[in-house]
Amino acid sequence: MDEIDLAGQVLAGDRLALARTLSSVENGTTQGMQALNSLFPHTGKAHLVGLTGASGTGKSSLVNQLVLYYRKSAKLSRSKNDEPPLRVAIVAVDPTSPFTGGAILGDRIRMRDLAGDPGVFIRSMATRGALGGIAAATGAVVQVLDAAGFDLVLIETVGAGQSEVDIARLAHTTIVVEAPGLGDDIQAIKAGILEIADVLVVNKADLPGVENTERALRGSLGLARPAPKRVFHHGQLVSVPEQDEPHSPSGAAWVPPILRTIAIDGTGIPELADAIAAHRAHLEQTGGWQQRDRGRLQAELDLLLQNRLLTDFRSRLKDGTYEDVLAGVLERRISPFQAVDELVKRNR
Amino acid sequence: MDEIDLAGQVLAGDRLALARTLSSVENGTTQGMQALNSLFPHTGKAHLVGLTGASGTGKSSLVNQLVLYYRKSAKLSRSKNDEPPLRVAIVAVDPTSPFTGGAILGDRIRMRDLAGDPGVFIRSMATRGALGGIAAATGAVVQVLDAAGFDLVLIETVGAGQSEVDIARLAHTTIVVEAPGLGDDIQAIKAGILEIADVLVVNKADLPGVENTERALRGSLGLARPAPKRVFHHGQLVSVPEQDEPHSPSGAAWVPPILRTIAIDGTGIPELADAIAAHRAHLEQTGGWQQRDRGRLQAELDLLLQNRLLTDFRSRLKDGTYEDVLAGVLERRISPFQAVDELVKRNR
C-alpha cells in the first residue's frame, strides 16, 4: 500500500491503516512523513486534552472512566439530540519509563475496559528520538489522530518534569491530577505544572487527607497564577513571542476549577467531563483556541527545524572534523563554546 | 573589571568574582562566555556528584548533612594525614519550580547551616533558557565551580522527569534518594532514574515502610539494570555513539549500593560519603571517569551547537519569511515538516 492510500484509508476510518500510519510516523519513516503531510490539512478539529499527574494518583483509571463516560453518556443522550457519541483517542506517554513497559502495561488493563469499541483508539508512546524527542513524536501522533476524525484526543503523561510540561503544551486543555497522601510539599513540586493546569482533579477523594490536598492545591494556585508571565518552553526553543503564550488567552480569565473524583466508582466523572467542555467553550469564546493552536504549531515547527539544521550541518562536515574539535574540548584546549565557533567556521 | 580579570579572580579564589561570573554565565552574557572560555582549561578536576529524588524525600537535608560531614570529618582527620578539608560547591536545580522560589527557599535554610564556611559555595539555579535550557546552564555553572577549585560539586535536582535525567548526566556519580511512603508504585515511575543511579539512598529510614521501599528499589534495580542498553538523551541530540554511553563504563561492573540514612540526625552519612568515594575510585580504576567526561562534554557541545545553528539560521532569514511559512502551517496548507523544507529552501 503506498503512502497516498495509507492517508486516504486513515481518513476513511480504517483502524489498521491508522495503526500502521502511527507506527510509521513515530519511527520517522519517509512513508510516515508523507502520510503526515497528506493528513495535516485535515487536522485542527479535535479537542486536545492533556492529562498529567504523578504515579499513584490513579490517572489511568481516571482516563478510562472518563472515556467510558463519554461513550455511554453520548449513547444515553442520543435519543434527545440525535448526536453521535464522541469518538475518543487516548495517547499514553511515559517519558520516565522508556523500557520497563509501564505504558504498555497500563495499555493492557485499559484494553480490557475499552477494547472492541470502534469509537475508541488507544496508543502508547514507546519510542523517543526518531523525530527529535518524545514531544515531537507525540505531536505528530496527535496530528494523525486529529486527522482521523477523533473528536477528543486525550494525551496522558506521567510525572512533573519538563518533558511533561512540553507535552502538556500540545493540548488545548490541561488537566493535572493529584491524590491525597502523596507527599506533604506539593506546593513546591507542582508549581511548574500548576501554572499550566486548566482543570485540577483530586482523585481518590475517599482517602483521608483529601481536604489537605485540596487546600495545598488552592494555596499553590494562588502562588502560581499571579506570578509574572513566564513562557514554559523547551530549552532549545527561544522565539515564541509573548503574545502567543498559549496559556494566557485574551479575554476573560479562566479560573482552574478543583474537582474531586473517585475514579474506581465513577464519582465526579460527569463533573470532570463538564469542566472539560466548559474550558473548550471558554477557549472558543476568548480566541484562546487559535492562540494555543498557534503556540503549539510554532513550537512543533521550531523543534523540527532545529533537528533538521543539526542533521544538515552534520552531513556537510568533513569526516573527522567533529571528532577533531571534540578532542580539543576533551583535552581542555578549547571550551565547548569555542568548539561551536570552530565547527561553524569549518562548515563554511 | 574586565573578563580576563574576572576569570583570574575566580582562579584566585575570590568569592564575589565567582558569584558574578556564575550570574554572567547563567545569563549568557558575552562577559560570562569569555570568562567561561578562560576558565575551561582549568576544569576536569572536581568530582561531579548528582543527587536527585522526589520532593518529600528529605534530599536537601541530606545534602546539607553530607556537606557538613565533609567539612567536619576533613577537619577531624586533618591531624592524621594533614590533608586540607574538601572544598564543596552545591548547585541546586529545580526545573519544575521556575518562579515560586522553591530552590531559593531551600537555599535560605541551607545558608543557616553552612553560611560563613569559606570552603562551601552554594548556588541555586533560577534561570533557564539563556544558554538553551536548564541542562546547558547547569553544565556551564558546574564548569565554573570546577575551575574555581572545588573538590566536589554536588548537583541537586528535584523529581524524576527527563530534565532531571539530563542534568544527572552531567555528573560522574549519580545518587538517587527515596523515602518510605511516597507512593506504592515506585517500580514504574523511577525506572528511568534508577538506570542512571550509582548510589541509592533510602532517607527517613526511621519511618515505617522502609523495608518495603528498599525491597521495591531492589526489585526495580533488577528490572532496570539488565535491560538492553538505551541512551538517555535529550530529545534534540541524536548522535552520541553507543560506546560513549557514560553509564556503562568498561571493566568491572558497579553494583549500586542501597543505603539507609536519617538525614536529620546524621545516621548513615559517613557510609554515604564512603560510597561516593568508592564510586570515584571505581570510575578511576575502570576508565569510567574519562568515559563519563567524554559523554558529558559531547552532550554539552551538541546542545550548544544546536542552539547556535538555530540562531544563525534565524538571523539569515529575510524579515517575514518565518511568519509567512508559519502562517501556512496555521492555515493547514502545509505540514510542519513541509514548512521546515520550505524554510531551509528559502534560507539558501
**Domain map of chain A by residue range?**
1-41, 43-286, 317-346
List the single range of A201-210, B234-243, B247-256 with lowest mean pLDDT: B234-243
* Helix segments in chain B, DSSP class H: 3-11, 15-26, 30-39, 59-76, 78-81, 102-114, 134-147, 162-168, 186-189, 191-194, 210-224, 269-286, 288-316, 321-330, 336-346
Q: For position A82, what pLDDT does the model report?
A: 60
* A292, closest residue in chain B (CA to CA): B330
Q: Select from A189, A190, A306 the Cβ nearest to the Cβ of B306.
A: A306
Q: Give the CATH number of domain B43-291.
A: 3.40.50.300
Helix (H, G, I), strand (E, B), or coil: what is residue B259?
Answer: strand
- Contact at CB, A162 and B160, closer than 8 angstroms: no
C-alpha cell at B181: 511512603
Closest residue in B to A309 (Cα) is B309
Asked if A301 lies within 8 A of B239 by C-beta distance, the reply is no
Cross-chain CB nearest to B37 (options A135, A298, A335): A335
How large is the ipTM? 0.77
Residues from chain B that touch A128, judged by Cβ atoms under 8 A, are 235
d(CA B318, nearest CA chain A) in Å: 16
Under DSSP, the state recorded for A178 is E
Residue A266 pLDDT > 50: yes
Distance (Å) from the C-alpha of residue B236 to the closest C-alpha of chain A? 5
**Which of B207, B297, B335 to mutate: most A Cβ within 10 Å?**
B335
Q: Cell numbers of B121, please?
A: 559555595
- Please choose, from the candidates A103, A117, A81, A110, the residue with its C-alpha nearest in 3D space to the C-alpha of residue A26: A103
Question: Which residue from B100, B193, B343 is facing A188, i.e. has the nearest CB?
Answer: B100
Instruction: Report whether A93 contacts A134 (CB < 8 A).
Output: yes
Residue tagged 498559549 (cell numbers): A246
User: Which 8-state DSSP code applies to residue B52?
Assistant: E
Contact residues on chain A for B227, CB-CB shorter than 8 A? 99-100
Amino acid in the structure at residue A224: A
- At residue A244, the pLDDT reads 35
Rounded to the nearest 5 percent, the helix, strand and coil shares of chain A are 55, 10, 35
Q: Does B298 contact A343 at a Cβ distance shorter than 8 Å?
A: no
Tell me: the pLDDT tens digits for B165-221? 667 678 999 998 888 876 544 433 445 566 778 999 999 999 988 888 888 788 767
Tell me which of A163, A239, A292, A324 to substitute to probe the interface with B (most B C-beta atoms closer than 10 Å). Answer: A163
Main-chain dihedrals φ then ψ at residue A149, nearest 5 degrees: 95, 10
pLDDT value of position A133: 65
Of B94, B304, B312, Cβ closest to residue A336: B304
Disruptive mutation site among B40, B294, B296, B344 for chain A (greatest number of A CBs within 10 Å): B40
Name residues whose C-beta falls within 8 Å of residue A345's C-beta, 6 or more positions apart in sequence.
none
Distances (CA, A) of A213 to A92, A158, A178, A186, B79: 25, 19, 8, 8, 52
Residue A251 three-state SS: coil
Q: Do B336 and A239 touch (CB under 8 A)?
A: no
The helix or strand, by DSSP H or E, that contains position A109, with its residue range, turns out to be helix A102-114
Q: Do B310 and A43 touch (CB under 8 A)?
A: no
Name the residue with higher pLDDT: A154 or B94.
Answer: A154
Please state the separation of Cα B116 from the chain's center in Å: 25
Q: In this predicted model, what pLDDT tens digit does every residue of B136-164 receive, in sequence order? A: 788 899 999 999 999 999 998 865 455 56
Residue A182 in this model has a pLDDT that exceeds 50: yes
Categorize the per-residue pLDDT at A249 as very low, low, confident or very high, splitting at 50, 70 and 90.
Answer: very low
The DSSP result for A3-71, as a single string, is: HHHHHHHHHTT-HHHHHHHHHHHHTT-HHHHHHHHHHGGG-S-SEEEEEEE-TTS-HHHHHHHHHHHHH
Contact B313 A312 (CB under 8 A): no
pLDDT digits (tens, 9 = 90+) for A220-247: 676 554 433 333 333 333 333 333 334 4
CB of B35 closer than 8 Å to CB of B7: yes
Q: Which residue has the cell 539507609?
A: B260
Domain A43-286 listed as CATH 3.40.50.300: yes
The model's confidence at residue A165, banded by pLDDT at 50, 70 and 90, is low
- Residues A96-105: tens digit of each pLDDT: 544 434 444 4
d(CA B214, CA B197): 14
pLDDT at A14 over 60: yes
CB A32 within 8 A of CB A21: yes
B39-72: pLDDT as tens digits: 999 999 999 999 987 767 888 889 999 999 999 8
Question: Looking at chain B, which residue has its C-alpha nearest residue A57?
Answer: B183
Residues on chain A touching B144 (C-beta within 8 angstroms): none
The C-alpha atoms of residue A169 and residue A195 are separated, in whole angstroms, by 11
B161 interaction partners in chain A (CB closer than 8 Å): 95-96, 159-164
Residue B162, pLDDT score: 54
Three cell numbers written together for A160: 512533573
DSSP string, B174-223: EEEEE-TTS-S-HHHHTHHHHTT-SEEEE-STTSTTHHHHHHHHHHHHHH
Among candidates A191, A235, A309 on the partner chain, residue whose Cβ is nearest the Cβ of B96: A191
What mean pLDDT, rounded, does chain A reach?
78
Taking CA atoms, what residue in A is nearest to B54? A189
Question: At residue B222, what are phi and psi to the nearest 5 degrees?
Answer: -60, -40
The answer to whether the CB atoms of B184 and A302 lie below 8 A apart is no
Band (pLDDT 50/70/90 cuts) for residue B303 is confident
pLDDT at B233: 35
Q: Which of B136, B177, B150, B204 is nearest to B51 (CA)?
A: B177
Q: In angstroms, rounded to a whole number, what is the distance separating the alpha carbons of residues A255 and B212? A: 40
Contacts of A170 in chain B (CB under 8 A): none
Give how far B224 is from chain A: nearest CA, Å.
7
| Residues of chain B contacting A60 with CB distance shorter than 8 Å | none
**A129/B238 touch (CB, cutoff 8 Å), yes or no:** yes
Residue of A nearest to B237 (CA): A132
Total CB pairs under 8 A between chain A and B = 274
- Taking the CA of residue A154 and the nearest CA in chain B, the distance in Å comes to 20
Q: Is the dihedral of CA B143, B192, B92, B311 positive or negative?
A: positive
Whether residues A236 and B306 touch (CB distance < 8 A) is answered with yes
Residue of B nearest to A104 (CA): B188
CA distance readout (Å), B10 to A324, B35, B117, B153? 29, 9, 17, 16
